[in-house]
Amino acid sequence: MSAWLESAIARGQDNSDWLAPKRAHALELLSATKWPTRKTEAWRYTPLRPIERSKAVPVENQTGLLPLAIDGLNAIELAFVNGQLDKVQLADTLPEGLTIALGSELSPEQQASALQEFSTIKPERHLFGLVNDALVNDVVIVSVEENVKIDEPVRISSLLSQGAESHTRVLVSLEAGARLTVIEDVQAQGDSLSTAFVEYNIAPKAYLEHYRFALQTGSNLAVGGCHFNLHDHAKMNSTIVAFGSELSRLDTDIIHAGEFADAKLNAMYLLDDKELFDLHATVEHAMPNGTTEENVRCIVADRARAVFNGRIHIHKDAQKTLAELNNRNLLLSDKAEINTKPELEIYADDVRCAHGATVAQIDKQALYYLQTRGVSRAKAQVMLNFGFINELIDLMPNETLAEWIRPIIRERFAQMEVM
Amino acid sequence: MSNSNNLLTIKDLYASVEEKQILKGLDLEVKPGEVHAIMGPNGAGKSTMGYVLSGREGYTVDSGSVVLGGEDLLDMETEERARAGLFLAFQYPVEIPGVSNLEFLKASVDAQREARGEEAISSADFLKEAKAACKKVDLPISFLKRGVNEGFSGGEKKRNELMQMLLLQPKLCILDETDSGLDIDALQVVAEGVNSQRSSDRSFIVVTHYQRLLDYIKPDFVHVLSNGKIVKSGDASLAQELEAQGYAWLQTEPTEDELEG
Amino acid sequence: MTEQIDKALAREYEAGFVSDVESETFAPGLDESVIQRISKMKGEPEWMLEWRLGAFRDWLQMEEPDWALVDYPKIDFQAISYYSAPKSMKDKPKSLDEVDPELLRTYEKLGIPLIEQQMLAGVAVDAVFDSVSVVTTFREKLEEAGVIFCPISEAIQKYPDLVKKYLGSVVAKKDNYYSALNCAVFTDGSFVYIPKGTRCPMELSTYFRINEQNTGQFERTLIIADEGSHVSYLEGCTAPQRDENQLHAAVVELVAMDDAEIKYSTVQNWYPGDEDGKGGIYNFVTKRGVCHTNAKISWTQVETGSAVTWKYPSCVLKGDNSVGEFYSVALTRGRQQADTGTKMIHLGKNTKSTIIAKGISAGKSNGSYRGLVRMAAGAEGARNFTQCDSLLIGDQCGAHTFPYVESRNPSAIIEHEATTSKVSDEQMFLCQQRGLDPEKAVSMIVNGFCKEVFKELPMEFAVEAGKLLEISLEGSVG
């Protein structure tokens, strides 16, 4: 066990609020957990030394942090500042059928029902998910009533000041036939450490459109998770855009808990400098007739390291499942690393599952083609890199977000050193 | 001696791919405004010529020289050659998903204008020009938004090549088997596009296996390329002769049958 | 339909008989004295014993690996006998006439005649029975070509310099738990040396047979192909049908010097246990080859036997332009579990590797492909292509794919693809509508699925492998 985890466990024990039963359970599991090493499969390529050495501490009452403006986006804005919900104008302005509340402010009955869902979608195997269970001091609960379609996206930003440690937790519930868009994003000033976990319960025929922008870079440490539970005929479409940092790790779990559910996940990451980004994407097909389509693309420059683990698990009863994973990686430098592991674990015979993974350089023919038209090699490389990612940006259902992220990504490519 | 009025002068060019020599003493002179057709059997080195002139990686010049508009072409990077006015229309244009046709065209035009010291064209003006070019080659405007050649049919790819030529206004166009895979209608569209670009300061090298294309694009000269060099030159009538006879007569080495007989 | 296919796959294990041979067998148990006794039985030099003891001390410090997707009760290493040999072998028979006829009959029954008149032309065989090599055929003919093919116990005495230099050079003693155990207690196996520029005039083959109860078989094979040489080697293996599990922990090392080529084929047919998972061999094997400049190593395996398989024949592509290949068919049925695959470690420039793995899972079995492709920083221009296909037969089995892809070189290209499919009702219907019975239909579909791998096997074995799958489908559909 590491000193960091020991101190986390000690701090978790101080608290005795409405989350206490869940916290106690998490602490019990944590006490029995071995601190991961290189030999721990889930952390094989992502050493935890930066967390062991982190000097980040909880910071209270920090003001002056504002979420990044997204041009043209008309969203319902929620912001965590150093882990505390900044609940300025949450009250009456919400559209009908949408409620956003802090768990601690609910009635005991409501709290009891929230506890029924809390930490049931997020699998217990995630070490930092347990840390979050233990250290989070409140839960933001977002719910959409039956058959209500919310047009305005709900944006949940997490803002971190220099050296801050933060633990945030959101529980999103879409009742039957509901529709919602959620945007998660982060801004951090450096040397921060955050755990950020969101659980989504998507009832029959509900539809979730989801975005996670993990754009923190530099010395920030980030560990988080997005966990989705899909019931009968539920649908989700998730887009993840990530840059790397000294340590940035995201675990996604898509659980087909009902029949005929449909999940799409498009993830892209662009790493530069000495950054690391590690995406562990798990799909559990527990019920029949589900479909999953995952596209993961990654570009790694300089001394950066990219890790991807894409697991598709088809349970015995999940007949007629269609699941596909496509993972493509571009390695731009001889100091960079790509470690990718697409996995299939299949226990049903009448399914169609496939995965493909490639690691390569930029397509030389395309590079030549651009050059024959007079485009310089450097510019052509930027264009091709961008094009590789742009294919996934084109798939983003929300055009405002696509238009917002495109120039940000283009700018990042323009700065990347290519060989 | 090469004529200083030439737009292009290729002298005794030897070039290899993967250590196999393909061009073996190629000579060719092209004056401004001329249209030269290069014909020849498969494997003669027709496509190689275009790749070598454009500076494709993996195509090594062993000896010889190539001068375009007074400049040593072989000294330049691929993009510099393009900016110097060389345009290669590919037989099989590559698909580049994720990079829109419009973005690609704008980047190309910008790069070339910059190289010529001209001012950058505004996005709005460029869009107008691109739309006009699109119309001219009979492609729907929506093709400007699609990825470069992505999912285009064979004919659409060729027309997209032509559109690039219209926008880039090169000095020398090499059309590499532009007729392959085209039906007669598409062939006419391409030929009309090319003919509309013929002018006294623009030259063409039309590389083709069949005479068919030359019915629509009338060449001033026809050359037969065989085993890496030009073995016969003539006027347009040579193309018809070739069509009638095929390329078998080029077999300069006696065949085994002949030796035994 | 599934039921029909299942029946079609159920089969008799034809090699399940026990030979009535009087053996000298060590009492179960493992400590340094056992290792000393093995070494003494083999008449080994002191350095070999020291090597073994070193490995044993390492092994004691190591832990059994648990990352494979296989599940079996903890092995009691003290309940295993580490040496067993027919008493008749004690005097080291000089010729075939002196070999116990019962031993010869055993191999004949297995389709490996060792008697001169019946020997397979073009295949030299080293027949290993429990812990000893019974006979090695065609030795003189091979010697004429300068090829050494003999039991490894003999090589340790006759060619100590070669053995000292290469034993443990590809698979380090401490490489893994089972390899360390093998180093400590290995008993026999084959040694091959192909001199410079020599093309081995015939196929070399080792046939491993476990006979005695409660014994483990710890084979050790070392093949050295010197510069510019070529050899094709194949191994087969079977064991009697018993209710107890038996351990087979082998280590195979291949060394392909500059411009050399080694083709290593395996048809693994150890006793798989019965339909309920009782009995069967635990097949925990470490196989690895190193390729020097321009060398090539090609592994082909057809895995149909064993209760549990844990096996990853690998290539270290050390030299520039070297080539590694892995072609595999793994069929599991009943309660069999197989976790098998390969590692391709690209170190040199322009190295190439190809992986084609076909898994067929039926009954209540589980088959996993586990592979690693690593492009080291120096692997300029290296390429890998991997294709893993799984075929599931029935809804009680599992088929899994765990590929690790690691790249440190931007000019290296890696392509990995995996698919899964089933024998569809439509396919079966079509075959049956055209007049094929279900067994034939399944066997045809399965054989078609495996074709890419079968074509890599040497002729004699391709036929055997095809038959092996076919036998499993024969005469059992009612």
In a 13 Å sphere around the CA of C296, the CA atoms on its Cβ side amount to 14
For residue C332, what are the β-bridge partners? Answer: C361
Task: Say which amino acid occupies A66.
Answer: L
Buried b (16+ CB within 10 A) or exposed e, C8-34: bbebebebeeebebebbbbebebeeeb
Query: What residues contact B248, with CB distance under 8 A and at least 6 apart?
Result: none
B54 vs A contacts (CB less than 8 Å):
372
Question: In chain A, count of helices (H) and strands (E)?
Answer: 8, 20
Nearest CA in chain A to B98: A387
Query: Looking at residue C462, what is its pLDDT?
Result: 67
Rounded to a whole number, what is the distance in Å from the CA of B161 to chain A's nearest CA?
Answer: 10
Best of A368, A410, A413 to mutate (most B CBs within 10 Å, chain B): A368
DSSP assignment of B178-228: TTTT--HHHHHHHHHHHHHH-BTTBEEEEEESSSHHHHHS--SEEEEEETT
Query: Looking at residue A86, what is its pLDDT?
Result: 80
Query: Looking at residue B247, what is its pLDDT?
Result: 78
Token pair for C215: 């014994």
Query: What residues contact C233, with CB distance under 8 A and at least 6 apart?
Result: C192, C203, C204, C205, C206, C223, C262, C263, C264, C265
Task: Say which amino acid occupies B255.
Answer: T
Neighbour count for residue C230 (Cβ, 10 Å): 17
Rounded to a whole number, what is the distance in Å from the CA of A296 to chain C's nearest CA?
Answer: 14
Best of B57, B78, B165, B176 to mutate (most A CBs within 10 Å, chain A): B78
Instruction: Report whether B81 contacts B73 (CB < 8 A).
Output: yes
DSSP assignment of C359-385: EEE-TT-EEEEEEEEEE-TT-TT-EEE
Query: What is the torsional sign of CA C63, C65, C67, C73?
Result: negative
Instruction: Report whether C271 contacts C239 (CB < 8 A).
Output: yes
In the predicted model, what is the mean pLDDT of chain C? 86
The secondary structure of residue C96, as a DSSP letter, is G
N- to C-terminal Cα separation, chain A: 41
Beta strands B59-68 and B71-72 are: antiparallel
Q: Quick one: which of C365, B65, C413, C94 has its CA closest to A358? A: C413
Q: Quick one: which of C352, C389, C339 has its CA closest to C67? A: C339
Token pair for C270: 């150890």
3-state class (DSSP) for residue C108: helix
pLDDT surpassing 90 at residue C97: no
Rounded to a whole number, what is the distance in Å from the CA of C376 to chain A's nearest CA?
Answer: 10
Best of A349, A361, A419 to mutate (most C CBs within 10 Å, chain C): A349
Q: Do chains C and A touch (3 or more CB pairs under 8 A)?
A: yes
Q: How far apart are CA C396 and CA A317, in angstroms?
A: 10
For residue A139, what are the β-bridge partners? Answer: none
pLDDT surpassing 80 at residue C91: no
Instruction: Report whether B22 contacts B16 (CB < 8 A).
Output: yes
Token pair for C285: 């094997």
pLDDT band at B257 (very low <50, low <70, confident <90, very high): very low
Mean pLDDT of C102-131: 77
- Please write the tens of the pLDDT for every residue from C349-406: 999 999 999 999 988 899 999 999 999 999 999 999 999 999 988 888 999 999 999 9
B97/A370 touch (CB, cutoff 8 Å), yes or no: no
Q: Which of A316, A344, A352 is closest, CB to CB, to C418?
A: A344
Q: Which chains touch A (3 or more CB pairs under 8 A)?
A: B, C
Q: Which of A340, A344, A351 is closest, CB to CB, to C400?
A: A344
Q: How far apart are CA A101 and CA B20, in angstroms?
A: 73
- Please write the tens of the pLDDT for every residue from C193-230: 999 999 999 889 888 888 887 888 899 999 999 999 99
Q: How far apart are CA C115 and CA C109, in angstroms?
A: 12
Dihedrals phi, psi of C20, to nearest 5 degrees: -90, 90
Best of C2, C355, C393, C414 to mutate (most A CBs within 10 Å, chain A): C414
Q: Which of A334, A344, A351 is closest, CB to CB, to C377?
A: A334
3-state class (DSSP) for residue B234: strand
Q: Which of C67, C405, C422 is closest, CB to CB, to A349?
A: C422
Q: Quick one: which of C260, C326, C253 has its CA closest to C293? A: C260
Query: Looking at residue B259, what is its pLDDT?
Result: 44
pTM metric for this prediction: 0.86
A374 vs B contacts (CB less than 8 Å):
79, 82-83, 108, 111-112, 115, 168
- Distances from the Cα of B222 to the Cαs of B11, B36, C359, in angstroms? 18, 6, 59
pLDDT surpassing 50 at residue C475: no
Nearest CA in chain B to A364: B57
Nearest CA in chain B to A379: B107
Rounded to a whole number, what is the distance in Å from the CA of A378 to chain B's nearest CA?
Answer: 11
A372/B54 touch (CB, cutoff 8 Å), yes or no: yes
A374/B111 touch (CB, cutoff 8 Å), yes or no: yes
Sketch out chain B's domains with CATH numbers: 8-260 (3.40.50.300)
Best of A363, A370, A372 to mutate (most B CBs within 10 Å, chain B): A372
Q: How far apart are CA A310 and CA A327, in angstroms?
A: 9
Count Cβ atoms within 10 A of the Cβ of residue B153 and give its class: 0-12 exposed, 13-18 middle, 19 or more buried.
Answer: exposed
Q: Do chains A and B touch (3 or more CB pairs under 8 A)?
A: yes
C378 vs A contacts (CB less than 8 Å):
none
Dihedrals phi, psi of A134, to nearest 5 degrees: -80, -35
Q: Which of A329, A337, A342 is closest, CB to CB, to C403?
A: A342
Structural domain boundaries, residue A30? 3-415
C395 vs A contacts (CB less than 8 Å):
316, 319, 347-350
C409 vs A contacts (CB less than 8 Å):
331, 334
A373 vs B contacts (CB less than 8 Å):
79, 82, 104, 107-108, 111, 164, 168
A373/B108 touch (CB, cutoff 8 Å), yes or no: yes
Pick from B46-55, B228-237, B251-260, C239-248: least confident? B251-260
A347 vs C contacts (CB less than 8 Å):
395, 397-398
Instruction: Report whether C200 contacts C232 (CB < 8 A).
Output: yes
N- to C-terminal Cα separation, chain C: 13
Q: What is the ipTM of this complex?
A: 0.89
Q: How far apart are CA C413 and CA A113, in angstroms?
A: 52
Q: How far apart are CA C368 and CA C357, in angstroms?
A: 10
Q: How far apart are CA C230 and CA C225, in angstroms?
A: 7
A355/C401 touch (CB, cutoff 8 Å), yes or no: yes
Place of tokens 């221009």: C381
Instruction: Report whether A324 contacts A353 (CB < 8 A).
Output: yes
Higher pLDDT, A177 or B192: A177
Q: Quick one: which of B103, B112, B73, B94 has its CA closest to A374? A: B112
A343/C401 touch (CB, cutoff 8 Å), yes or no: yes
Q: Report how many Cβ contacts below 8 Å link chain A to chain B.
A: 80
A387/B99 touch (CB, cutoff 8 Å), yes or no: yes
pLDDT band at C455 (very low <50, low <70, confident <90, very high): confident
Q: Which of C398, C400, C410 is closest, CB to CB, to A332?
A: C410
Please name the residues between 336 and 375 in chain A that touch chain C, using a CB distance below 8 Å.
336-361
Rounded to a whole number, what is the distance in Å from the CA of A336 to chain B's nearest CA?
Answer: 24
pLDDT surpassing 90 at residue B241: no
Place of tokens 């991807």: A308
For residue A164, what are the β-bridge partners? Answer: A57
Domain total for chain A? 1
Instruction: Report whether A22 contacts A124 (CB < 8 A).
Output: no
Q: How far apart are CA B153 and CA B156, in angstroms?
A: 5
Pick from A146-155, B51-60, B121-130, C112-121: least confident? C112-121
A383/B93 touch (CB, cutoff 8 Å), yes or no: no
Instruction: Report whether C260 contacts C228 (CB < 8 A).
Output: yes
Task: Say which amino acid occupies A172.
Answer: V
Query: What residues contact A223, with CB distance under 8 A and at least 6 apart?
Result: A51, A128, A131, A194, A195, A196, A247, A248, A249, A250
Q: Which of A346, A351, A358 is closest, CB to CB, to C400?
A: A346
B68 vs A contacts (CB less than 8 Å):
none
Best of B49, B99, B112, B161 to mutate (most A CBs within 10 Å, chain A): B99
Per-position pLDDT tens, chain A of length 419: 689 999 999 988 876 788 998 999 999 999 999 999 988 999 999 999 999 999 999 988 667 788 888 999 999 999 999 998 886 556 567 899 999 999 988 899 999 988 998 999 999 999 999 999 999 989 999 999 999 999 999 999 999 999 999 999 999 999 999 999 999 999 999 999 999 999 999 999 999 999 999 998 999 999 999 999 999 999 999 999 999 999 999 999 999 999 999 999 999 999 999 999 999 999 999 999 999 999 999 999 999 999 999 999 999 999 999 999 999 999 988 899 999 999 999 999 899 999 999 999 888 899 999 999 999 988 898 889 889 999 999 999 999 999 999 999 988 888 876 65
Q: Quick one: which of A192, A212, A186, A320 has its CA closest to A266? A: A212
Place of tokens 């010197």: C226
Contacts 24+ apart (CB under 8 A), B123-129: B127/B102, B129/B167
C414/A358 touch (CB, cutoff 8 Å), yes or no: yes
Nearest CA in chain B to A393: B98
C404/A361 touch (CB, cutoff 8 Å), yes or no: no
